[in-house]
Amino acid sequence: MKQNFGRNMYGLAAIAYGIITLLWHQIDSLGNFTHPAILIYFAGAAELIGGLAIQWDKTAKLGSVVLFSFYFIFTLYLVPPILKNPLVYFTWGNFFEEYSIAIGSVFVFASTLQNKPETASKIYSAAYKCFGICVISYSLYQLFYLSYTAGLVPKWIPPGQMFWAVATTIAFAVAAYAILSGRLALLASRLLTIMFLGFSLLVWFPLCFSNPHGLIGWDSNAETLAVAGSVWIVADFIFQQNIIPVSRAFSKMPVKLSESAD
C-alpha cells in the first residue's frame, strides 16, 4: 500500500487524541464509568498505538484495526442518546461524525488486502456508501443548527458569518450528492478535505492558542483533523481507482468512480 498524506493525517489526529486523553483525563462520550483511570489509559494507549502503527505499510493493518475498534466503540456509545431522543438531530450528528472517522480506518484496512481483491472490493463499496451518508449528515447537522454554526465562523471573514454557515451547509449537500452518485466525486472529496482543514485552521486552532488550557479547542481540533484525514483517505482511494489499473473485482464496484474525474 502506498503511503499517502490522508493516512498520515488520520494517524497524527489519533496520536493527538491520545495525548489529549492522557493529559486531560477526560472522556465525556462514555459518561459515568466505574474505574475511569483504566478507561483513560486504555483509550490513550489505543489511540497512540493505532495512530503510530497506521503510518507505515507493514503495520497499517494493525493500526487500522486498533483505530476502527476504538472509534466504533465510541460510535456505539452514541446510540443510546439517539434512542432516548430520536427527534433531536444533535445526537444523530454526533453519531455520524464519529462514524465517519471510523470509516477512514476501514479504507486503510481494505487497502492492505492486496491478495484478496474481491473481499477488499466489498469492503470498499460498503464503506464508500456509508461515508456518503455521513456527508449528508454533515449538511443536516449544520442546517438544523445554523445559528450555532454561524457563531463559529470568525467575524473578520467577509461577507459575514451567516453567509459562510449557509455556504458550507450547501457545500456539504453538493459533496454528498457527488460522492454517492460518483459524478465529480474526486473533486468533491478533495474540496471537502480542504473545507475541514479550513475549519481546523480558522476556527479551532485560534481557540487552542487563546485558551491553551481549555479542553474544547484541542479536542475539537483533533476531531476535525481526524475527519479531514478520513475524507482525505477516501479522496486518495477515488484518485487511485482512476489512475491505477484495477482488478475486475474493483471495476464492478456499484459506485460510479470512473466518472469522478470528469
Look at residues 141, 151, 110 and name the one whose alpha carbon lies nearest to residue 234.
110
CA nearest to 150, candidates 140, 141, 160: 160
The set of cell numbers assigned to 52 is: 503510530
Average pLDDT, the chain: 87
Residue 25: its pLDDT value, please?
62
DSSP 5: H
- Can you tell me whether residue 124 is helix, strand or coil? helix
**Cβ burial 173-189 (10 Å sphere, 16+ → b, else e):** bbbbbbbbebebbbbbb
Lowest-pLDDT range of 83-87, 146-150, 252-256: 252-256
Q: Provide, rounded to the nearest whole percent, the portion of the chain with pLDDT above 90.
A: 71
Residues 6+ apart with CB under 8 A from 82: 91, 92, 95
Q: How many independent structural domains does the chain possess?
A: 1
Most confidently modeled of 25-29, 248-252, 258-262? Answer: 25-29
Distance CA 59, CA 51 (A): 10
Contact 66, 102 (CB under 8 A): no
Considering only residues 158 and 42, tell me which one the structure prediction assigns the higher pLDDT. Answer: 158
Give yes or no for residue 144 having a pLDDT over 70: yes
Work out the pLDDT band at 42, boundaries 50, 70, 90: confident
Supply the angle between the helices 89-111 and 5-24 in degrees, to the nearest 10: 130
Angle at 134 between CA 234 and CA 111, to 5 degrees: 25
pLDDT digits (tens, 9 = 90+) for 107-133: 999 999 989 999 999 999 999 999 999
pLDDT at position 52: 97
Name the band, by pLDDT with cuts 50, 70 and 90, for residue 261: very low
Q: Report how far apart, in Å, the C-alpha atoms of 77 and of each of 22, 125, 180, 234, 249 are.
A: 20, 25, 27, 25, 35
The pTM assigned to this predicted structure is 0.87
By residue range, what is the domain housing residue 227?
5-259
Where residue 246 falls among pLDDT bands split at 50, 70, 90?
very low
